[in-house]
Amino acid sequence: MTISNIQVEGGAGGTDAKYDDLADMGELTADVAGDTLETAAAGHKFLVEPDVLASSLLNPGGVVKFEAAMAVALDGPNGLTVTSAGIGLRGEALKATRIAYEMADELAAKGLDAARWFGGLAVATNPLGAALVGGGAIATDVYLNYDGNWEKWLVDHPGMVDTLIGMSPGMLSALGIPVDLATTLDLLAATYPDGEAVTTPVGEHNYGAPDNLQDLLNGLAKRNDGMDDGDGGRPSNIDVKIIKDANGNVTGYVVDVPGTKDWPLPGQVKSANDLGVNVDAMAGNNTVLQEGIQEALRKAGAHDTGAPVMLVGHSQGGIVAAQATTDLKANGYNVTHVVTAGSPVGRIDVPSDVQVLSLENRNDIVPHLDASDNPDSANRTTVTFDNQTGGFSGNHAIRENYTEAARQLDSSSDPSVTRFKDSAGAFLNGDDKNSVTQNYHVARKGVNELP
């Protein structure tokens, strides 16, 4: 496998961080303006200082020169008063520039959503024309250049997924159901019942502690593969690594959350890792898997110790991990970091004090399912890379794909990646002998509970 063209956006070196720098510079400049104005005000006192006025009787010419020089220094065209006003205006301009940039970014994102919405409306109102023009061109390309292999064509053109999903609300609206993308997800989520989580501990093992990003992704791959099924072969679908130092003190918790395992039709439920959980989480709803994560953390002692928590998820697991951060923090869990691999998390709000690292293979269509780029904010770093395996499963796989990208990032000097790694010391400096991994089985009550 060849990982190439790694690019980093967001985080400490991202655009939003530079916007914050503009705001900070604006505040600093405003402070300087205030200090300069105070100095000017203090200087004006010398113009009416009693001792100065009294000295005019002995040296009237000198006093006149002094007063004139002070007046020019304070209120002249290059004086302190004018200078402080100019500095103040510069500070306000910096703040306004930050606001203008942010508004432009927001309008651009909304404009893209609107363009796709109207595109869907046009397709629904003129399906024959759309099929002849757009569909015909795509079909021709597939059969002439891809030997009729639609899957290979799609993984070569993953942006088409963004377009089609972004068009879906417009198509529904043309049919008399006025919706946007958020409402469409809500409607779809309503077709999948959720239920109550039942979280059962099934084993504890000593696999050591992760040392770097590659170790974190390897641990997630291990969990996703189902290689460590707990004691006695009892299945588990969440791992909680309890990271301890050489003295046995807990420094952090790492939760591994795998991807989708079951694909039921609307109205059906299969497990805590089924399609319904995907839809609910992307719609912003709590899910049985999220409840299971919280219960597993409680059983592992995370609520009592208050130690930092990192959530690591692939595909569905990344969606749920990002979505869970707000509720977990509200319930007293010290969530500080999230790592996602191949997950569509661009429309999920994450608290600003949670550091997020998202890995996305450009040829993996799953991160495109939200039809949105990830926020370019100071706490959210997105790493994109190329790894075309020719098929959906290889492009979306953790092993030799996201694990390899993580390996290369471990030697990266990018400021955003470096800042994330430096901030994750509570999870990456544990003692191998003392750190343990607990396996948990999260089920829907009455559906797939353990006997």
Per-residue pLDDT tens over the stretch 233-271? 455 689 999 999 999 999 999 999 998 888 888 888 888
Please check whether residues 300 and 392 belong to one and the same domain: yes
Per-residue pLDDT tens over the stretch 373-382? 898 888 999 9
Per-residue pLDDT tens over the stretch 306-334? 999 999 999 999 999 999 999 999 999 99
> Looking at residue 433, what is its pLDDT?
95
pLDDT band, residue 135 (cuts 50/70/90): low
Closest CA relative to residue 69, chosen from 46, 38, 35: 46
Q: List the Cα angle 266/270/276 in 5-degree steps.
A: 45
Please check whether residues 429 and 327 belong to one and the same domain: yes
> Looking at residue 132, what is its pLDDT?
46
Q: Distances in Å between the alpha carbon of 162 and those of 25, 51, 120, 370? A: 37, 77, 12, 7
Q: What is the DSSP string of 359-382?
A: EEETT-SGGGTTSSPPP--TTEEE
Tell me whether residue 310 is in a domain: yes
Tell me whether residue 379 is in a domain: yes
Q: Distances in Å between the alpha carbon of 424 and those of 74, 274, 335? A: 52, 30, 12
Q: Distances in Å between the alpha carbon of 419 and those of 216, 371, 379? A: 17, 28, 10
pLDDT at 348 over 50: yes
> Looking at residue 215, what is its pLDDT?
96
Tell me whether residue 407 is in a domain: yes
> Looking at residue 193, what is its pLDDT?
84
Please check whether residues 96 and 139 belong to one and the same domain: no
| Alpha carbons 101 and 111: distance in angstroms, whole number | 15
Closest CA relative to residue 113, chosen from 183, 175, 161, 170: 170
Q: Identify which of 111-115, 175-179, 286-290 has the greatest average pLDDT.
A: 286-290
Per the structure, the complete domain to which residue 409 belongs is given by 197-444
Please check whether residues 345 and 229 belong to one and the same domain: yes
pLDDT at 446 over 80: yes
**Domain ends where: 189, 208, 233?**
189
Q: Identify which of 43-47, 126-130, 246-250 has the greatest average pLDDT.
A: 246-250
Tell me whether residue 111 is in a domain: no
> Looking at residue 397, what is its pLDDT?
93
Tell me whether residue 61 is in a domain: yes
Please check whether residues 89 and 215 belong to one and the same domain: no
pLDDT at 424 over 90: yes
Q: Distances in Å between the alpha carbon of 23 and those of 33, 90, 268, 283? A: 15, 12, 50, 33
29 or 265: whose pLDDT is higher? 265
Q: What percent of the chain has pLDDT over 90?
A: 40
Please check whether residues 90 and 21 belong to one and the same domain: yes
Number of domains in the chain: 3
Please check whether residues 88 and 149 belong to one and the same domain: no
pLDDT at 75 over 70: no
Tell me whether residue 110 is in a domain: no
Half-sphere exposure of 447 (CA within 13 A, CB side): 22
Average pLDDT, the chain: 79
Q: What percent of the chain has pLDDT over 70?
A: 67
pLDDT at 29 over 90: no
| Alpha carbons 441 and 239: distance in angstroms, whole number | 9
pLDDT at 57 over 60: no
pLDDT band, residue 133 (cuts 50/70/90): very low
Tell me whether residue 8 is in a domain: no
pLDDT at 111 over 90: no
Helices (H) and strands (E) counted in the chain, each on its own, are 18, 9
Residue type, 100: A
Closest CA relative to residue 312, chosen from 430, 384, 219: 219
**Domain ends where: 79, 105, 131?**
105
332-371: burial string, b at 16+ Cβ within 10 Å, e else: ebbbbbbbbbbbbbbbbebeeebbbbbbbbbbbbbbbbbb
pTM of the model: 0.78
Please check whether residues 213 and 359 belong to one and the same domain: yes
> Looking at residue 272, what is its pLDDT?
86
Please check whether residues 151 and 208 belong to one and the same domain: no
What are phi and psi for residue 314, nearest 5 degrees? Answer: -110, 135
pLDDT at 5 over 70: yes
| Alpha carbons 259 and 220: distance in angstroms, whole number | 10
| Alpha carbons 146 and 138: distance in angstroms, whole number | 11
Please check whether residues 158 and 38 belong to one and the same domain: no
Q: Per-residue pLDDT averaged across 407-422, rounded?
A: 95
> Looking at residue 395, what is its pLDDT?
92
> Looking at residue 221, what is its pLDDT?
92
The H or E element spanning position 197 is: strand 197-205
Q: Per-residue pLDDT averaged across 178-202, rounded?
A: 84
330 or 127: whose pLDDT is higher? 330
pLDDT at 301 over 80: yes
Please check whether residues 173 and 304 belong to one and the same domain: no
Tell me whether residue 1 is in a domain: no
pLDDT band, residue 42 (cuts 50/70/90): low
| Alpha carbons 74 and 42: distance in angstroms, whole number | 10
pLDDT at 198 over 50: yes
**Domain ends where: 149, 166, 189?**
189
